């Protein structure tokens, strides 16, 4: 049963990061016609509506007042300071630079999990993160060689803040995903995030000239709302329920792979041996981290050793 749960957890984490991997090129394109705060607000409000509609067809769960406060703070780290800040950073920097910054998530998550959850920093975990990071960086650098960099230090720093914020969410608020379903948590988180953004985005949205907005831009925003928000967060929270925070964060390395495949499919990129090696390293890194022992595994081994020595 545990193996089955783990498999589902890996599939959900993979699906979420595939969708987020498409967010950089699609989101960057949408930002040509919409302001960052408008796109972010569409994302929060649209996903909130989608989760509330879905919740009508699911078993209703009562959330106590203490947990409701925790969900509010979870929304700040998972949405407001993560996806909101990332969109602003993406508007200032290049998608390639943004991809480079996303590779810091597993490292930050490992440190936060070690401090907050007392998860051990094992040799396997460090090796797996290092191997995965090398693969992601080789992939990004090989893609960057044929493109013009329009990076920005402020934009890159904002993207880094987004990664730190999400690592805190994955680690500190893991307990919520054990008590409530992904639908229940998300419907409240996106409502809270919407409340944070609507007061600041009202003017931008009210001045949009909808008649001059292209159909492609609207489709891109719909993907951001339904794919990169609704489905991706539904998947990542289900994965969070089944896997350790460090393992979930390792799938972040999939995002540059997806971006590269998308570029090749669109005819604006090519596939060479460097990319093949890079992708192999990413998968190897994920595998090594999943083989590392968790705190619960180590405690179980200690108890077993203690009983056998008696």
The tens digit of pLDDT for each residue in 50-70 reads: 999 999 998 889 999 899 999
pLDDT in tens, 117-147: 777 777 877 787 788 778 767 766 665 555 5
pLDDT at site 125: 75
Neighbour count for residue 5 (Cβ, 10 Å)? 12
Averaged pLDDT of the chain: 80
Q: Is 214 helix (H, G, I), strand (E, B) or coil?
A: coil
Please give the average per-residue pLDDT across 72-89, as a whole number.
88
pLDDT at site 305: 43
pLDDT at site 270: 57
Q: How far apart are CA 303 and CA 27, in angstroms?
A: 50
Q: How far apart are CA 39 and CA 45, in angstroms?
A: 10
Query: Do the Cβ atoms of 14 and 230 come closer than 8 Å?
Result: no
Of 89-93, 139-143, 231-235, which gets the smallest average pLDDT? 139-143
Please give the average per-residue pLDDT across 229-247, as a whole number.
86
Would you list the domain boundaries of the chain?
3-125+148-244
pLDDT at site 306: 43
Query: Do the Cβ atoms of 289 and 246 come closer than 8 Å?
Result: yes
- Of 23 and 11, the one with more pLDDT: 11
How many CA atoms lie less than 13 Å away from 29 in the CB half-sphere? 15
Q: How far apart are CA 21 and CA 286, in angstroms?
A: 16
Spell out the residues 6+ positions from residue 281 whose beta carbon is closer than 8 angstroms to its own: 131, 132, 134, 135, 138
């Amino acid at each position: 049963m545990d193996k089955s749960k783990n498999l589902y957890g890996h599939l959900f984490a993979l699906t979420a990061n595939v969708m987020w991997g498409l967010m950089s090129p699609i989101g960057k394109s949408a930002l040509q016609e919409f302001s960052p705060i408008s796109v972010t607000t569409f994302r929060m409000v649209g996903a909130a509506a989608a989760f509330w509609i879905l919740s009508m067809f699911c078993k209703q769960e009562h959330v106590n007042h203490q947990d409701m406060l925790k969900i509010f703070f979870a929304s700040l780290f998972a949405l407001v300071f993560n996806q909101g800040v990332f969109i602003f950073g993406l508007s200032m920097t290049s998608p390639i630079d943004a991809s480079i910054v996303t590779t810091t998530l597993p490292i930050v998550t490992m440190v936060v999990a070690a401090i907050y959850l007392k998860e051990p920093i094992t040799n396997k975990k460090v090796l797996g993160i290092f191997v995965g990071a090398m693969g992601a960086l080789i992939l990004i650098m090989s893609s960057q060689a044929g493109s013009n960099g329009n990076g920005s230090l402020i934009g890159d720093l904002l993207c880094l803040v987004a990664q730190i914020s999400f690592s805190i969410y994955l680690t500190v608020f893991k307990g919520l995903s054990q008590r409530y379903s992904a639908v229940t948590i998300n419907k409240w988180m996106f409502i809270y995030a919407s409340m944070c953004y609507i007061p600041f985005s009202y003017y931008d949205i009210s001045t949009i000239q909808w008649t001059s907005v292209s159909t492609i831009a609207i489709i891109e925003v719909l993907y951001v709302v339904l794919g990169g928000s609704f489905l991706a967060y539904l998947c990542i929270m289900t994965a969070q329920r089944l896997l350790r925070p460090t393992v979930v964060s390792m799938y972040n390395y999939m995002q540059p792979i997806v971006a590269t495949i998308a570029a090749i499919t669109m005819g604006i990129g090519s596939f060479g041996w460097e990319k093949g090696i890079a992708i192999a390293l990413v998968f190897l890194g994920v595998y090594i981290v999943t083989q590392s022992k968790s705190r619960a595994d180590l405690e179980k081994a200690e108890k077993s050793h203690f009983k056998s020595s008696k």
